[in-house]
Amino acid sequence: MKNTKPNISKQISIDTVNDACDKNYQVVMLKYYQLQFGWFHNAYNSFKDIDKYIILAYLINKTLATYNKHFYNLSFEDFYSNKSVDIEKISISDLVKDINLSKETARRKLNEMTNDGIITRNKKKITIQHSAFIYQKPTASIKNFSNLLSAATETLKIDNKIQFYDTDYFEDKIKKNYTHYWNTFLNSQITYLLRVKDLFGNYENAMVFLVCLLNQAYNMKNANQQISGENTDKIHYSYTTTISQYTLENSKGLNPTTISELTGIPRASVIRKLNDLIKLQYIIQNDQNLYTTSTPKKGSAGFSKLTKFFVSNQPNIRETIREFLNYTIV
- Supply the DSSP string of 208-236, one letter for each residue: HHHHHHHHHHHHHHHTT-----SSHHHHH
Residues 325 and 330: their CA atoms lie apart, in Å, by 7
Residue 1 pLDDT > 60: no
Predicted pLDDT of residue 306:
93
User: Could you read off the pLDDT of 213-234 as tens digits, one per residue?
Assistant: 999 888 888 777 777 777 888 8
Residues 233 and 116: their CA atoms lie apart, in Å, by 46
> Which residues contact residue 237 at a Cβ distance below 8 angstroms, ignoring those fewer than 6 apart?
229, 307, 311
User: Could you read off the pLDDT of 129-166 as tens digits, one per residue?
Assistant: 888 888 889 999 999 999 999 999 999 998 888 899 99
Residues 109 and 123: their CA atoms lie apart, in Å, by 16
Type of residue numbered 193: L
Predicted pLDDT of residue 219:
84
Mean pLDDT over 14-18 rounds to 95
pLDDT category at 286 given cuts 50, 70, 90 is confident
User: Could you read off the pLDDT of 72-105 as tens digits, one per residue?
Assistant: 999 999 999 988 888 877 888 888 999 999 999 9
Residue 297 pLDDT > 90: no
Residues 130 and 117: their CA atoms lie apart, in Å, by 9
> Is beta strand 283-285 parallel, antiparallel or unpaired with respect to 157-158?
unpaired
Listed by start position, the domains of the chain span 17-45+136-151+162-328
Residue 275 pLDDT > 90: yes
Element (H, E) at 134: helix 133-136
Residues 215 and 278: their CA atoms lie apart, in Å, by 18
Mean pLDDT over 104-130 rounds to 90
> Which residues contact residue 164 at a Cβ distance below 8 angstroms, ignoring those fewer than 6 apart?
150, 153, 154, 156
Q: How far lies 105's CA from each of 92, 111, 266, in Å?
A: 10, 10, 22
Three-state DSSP at 292 gives: strand
Element (H, E) at 86: strand 84-87
User: Could you tell me how many residues make up the chain?
Assistant: 330
Residues 310 and 318: their CA atoms lie apart, in Å, by 12
Beta bridge partners of 129: 84
pLDDT category at 248 given cuts 50, 70, 90 is low
Residues 305 and 293: their CA atoms lie apart, in Å, by 12
The least confident of 11-15, 234-238, 249-253 is 249-253
